[in-house]
Structure formats: structure tokens, C-alpha cells
A = this chain, B = another copy of it.
Amino acid sequence: VPRATDQPGPGRERLNRARVLDAAIALADAEGIDALTMRRLAQGLGVEAMSLYNHIANKNDLLDAMLDRVTDEIELHGDGSDWRRRTRGRAVSAHAVLVRHPWAAWLWTSRLSIGPARMRYVDAALLGLREAGFAPGLLDRAYHTIENHIVGHALQALGFPLDTQQMKEMGASLMRTFPVEQYPELAAHIRYHLDGPEGGDDEFEFGLDLILDGLERMRTADRTGAA
């Protein structure tokens, strides 16, 4: 089977790691992480699956590299005069990246080896808290609480991967067969999300501010107590 771009030339670029990663991210963004198979990825690049192994060690290596590449999209050093504004901006940016690349949200927690971009991110987040004056014990808890909220919300949002239109349809069909009298609160909750005010999109920032407010209160109590 002859192909139009079989011979080297302008139409057929050489494969390299960056091209593999970009194609893998584009595929996972567009069709989900399950669609990302070695054969499918290779096909999109006009190559056989086995060629990929010249540029990546294996699929785990590919996933780690993909995650680190999108992690690098996080805005680490937003402007803002105080720790709260800067931490908030960083959290919002991290959350946006995980929502933009849904597959990255669950790699975020499940991959055990972390790359340079992730190290920079963690270092910046911790530095921000230390400069704010959090003592080690409180700093550690504060960091993890914020992280939990970011990844928790991204994964919840992602677990319901429907746009507004799809959601209304599914909700409506669900409500027809739903045992409303058995689960009245759940029914009311679904109804709220169906015809509630469109702006239910501030849920992430609501919880984030709740957490940051609480941390700020502890921080000042801690400092005045120590002084």
C-alpha cells in the first residue's frame, strides 16, 4: 500500500518527542484518555505504533510527560499584594488547567513520579505560604487542603462531563423515572441544578475562598498568639 507521504520531504516531518507529546495531548483532549492507544496515536502521526518507542520509553513515560507538559501551563506567579491573592490566583489557574485537560486531573493524583513542572508548581505554592508566615505544621495542612479542593473539584466537575444542554436533557429524562418521594432532597438538588440560576459555576471559587478565609484567620491567630 503506497502512501502519498512515504518518502522524506517537506510533507513528511521527522518524528520526535515533542511531536509525539503534542499529538498525544491533542488526542486525549479531543477524545478522552481511553482513545489514547499507542496504535491510534501512531496512526495520527502517520507512523506505526512501534516507532513511538524510539521517542518514549513506554506508555507510563508518555503519560508522565503529557502531565508535566500541561502542568507547565499553570500560572505560578500571579500579581497580587498579599499571599491570599497570589495563592488564590495560582489555585484558580491550576484548577482551570485540570478542567481544560480532563485526563490530566486523574493523572495528577495517580502518577507517582512527578516532573520538573510539577516540582516548580509545588515549590511555588509552598513558598507562597511560607512567606505568608505559616509555621511548618499549619503550612503543611494548608497546602494539602488547598490541593484537595483543586483536584477534588476538577474531578467532580469532570465526572459530569455534559454541557448545559445535555445536562438539561439527561436531568429531565431522569426526573421522569426518578423515585422523587424516596429521595426528596436529591430530587430537589437535581431540580436546582436543572433550572437554577445559570451561574452555578462559582462553586470552585466559593470553596476556595472559604478555605482561604479560614487559613487567614488561623494565620493571624497564630502570629498574635506567638507574639
Interface on A for B, CB 8 Å cutoff?
Answer: 106, 109-112, 119-120, 122-124, 126-127, 130, 136-137, 140-141, 143-145, 147-153, 155-156, 158-160, 182-186, 188-189, 192-193, 196-197, 200, 203, 206-207, 210-211, 213-215, 218
Contact = CB atoms under 8 A, between A and B. Distances in A.
This chain's copy number in the assembly: 2
B156 A144 contact: yes
Given A130-B185, A145-B206, 18 more contacts: A109-B155, A109-B159, A110-B159, A111-B159, A112-B159, A122-B183, A122-B186, A126-B189, A136-B192, A137-B196, A140-B189, A140-B196, A140-B200, A144-B203, A145-B210, A147-B152, A148-B156, A152-B152
B210 A119 contact: no
Contacts of A126: 185-186, 188-189
A218 to B, nearest CB: 8
Nearest to A188: B126
Q: Report which residue of A123, A183, A186, A197 has the largest number of chain B beta carbons within 10 angstroms of its beta carbon.
A: A186
